[in-house]
Amino acid sequence: MKVKRIVVTGAPGTGKTVVVQELEKLGFHCYHEIIRDMTAKAKQTETKNKMVSNPLVFVDDPMEFNKTLLYGREKHFNESQDLREPMCFFDRGIPDVLAYMDFFGQKYPFDFEGLSRQKRYDAIFILPPWKAIYVSDNERLESFEEAEKLHHHLMETYTRFGYSPIIVPKASIRERTSFILDTLPK
């Protein structure tokens, strides 16, 4: 049985992680976001006092940080091939790495694009920025305005790789989760 791979993504503070957690509570296999832990670890060595939106300022080697992120998401994708379930969900997909790198003006090697082209998901759901629920914290460094710009980068990146991202309406967690399940390609 081929498992359907579904990405739930969005700019910071859009509620995607709680939606993925809700899907997990409903019994679906979910792969969780890995960047929050990576950013927290990188910030532990930070000595500056000012808040910045780019987690790469906290690391010695930004490209290595992005490679770790990219290959971590590839690992989740590859692990999903062995699932014996009809579908699984990912809190962010491989192309998210490129969208963020584009946003921060970073160059990336061709193999980053190749990985995004080779490892294909079955559906992409994007939660749009929603000021009413947006909160920044120790690992979510972006302002709401930056989140809006990141949303556009995510839409552009997924579209560039041949996806038709589905926008999840602003609603309760349960309603957003139901929308995703009801809208999944059959």
Model pLDDT, residue 2: 87
Rounded to whole angstroms, the Cα distance separating 176 from 43 reads 32
Q: What is the pTM of this model?
A: 0.86
Q: Which helix (H) or strand (E) holds 148?
A: helix 144-160
Question: Sheet containing 166-167: which strands, arranged edge to edge?
Answer: 29-31, 87-91, 4-10, 123-127, 166-167
Distances (CA, A) of 69 to 73, 97, 128: 6, 7, 22
Reported as a single tens digit per residue, the pLDDT across 59-81 is 678 888 899 999 999 999 999 99
Q: What whole-number distance in Å separates Cα of residue 79 and Cα of residue 98?
A: 21
Q: What pLDDT score does 50 carry? A: 41
Query: What DSSP line would sit under 72-103, residue for residue?
Result: HHHHHHHHHTT--SSEEEEES-HHHHHHHHHH
Decide: 122 and 185 in contact? Cβ < 8 Å.
Answer: yes
- 76-97: pLDDT as tens digits: 999 999 999 999 999 999 999 9
* pLDDT(40) > 60: no
Residue 54's pLDDT band (cuts 50, 70, 90): very low
The 10s digit of each residue's pLDDT in 112-151 is 999 999 999 999 999 999 888 877 665 556 777 888 999 9
Domains of the chain, start order: 4-183 (3.40.50.300)
- Check whether 154 has a pLDDT greater than 80: yes
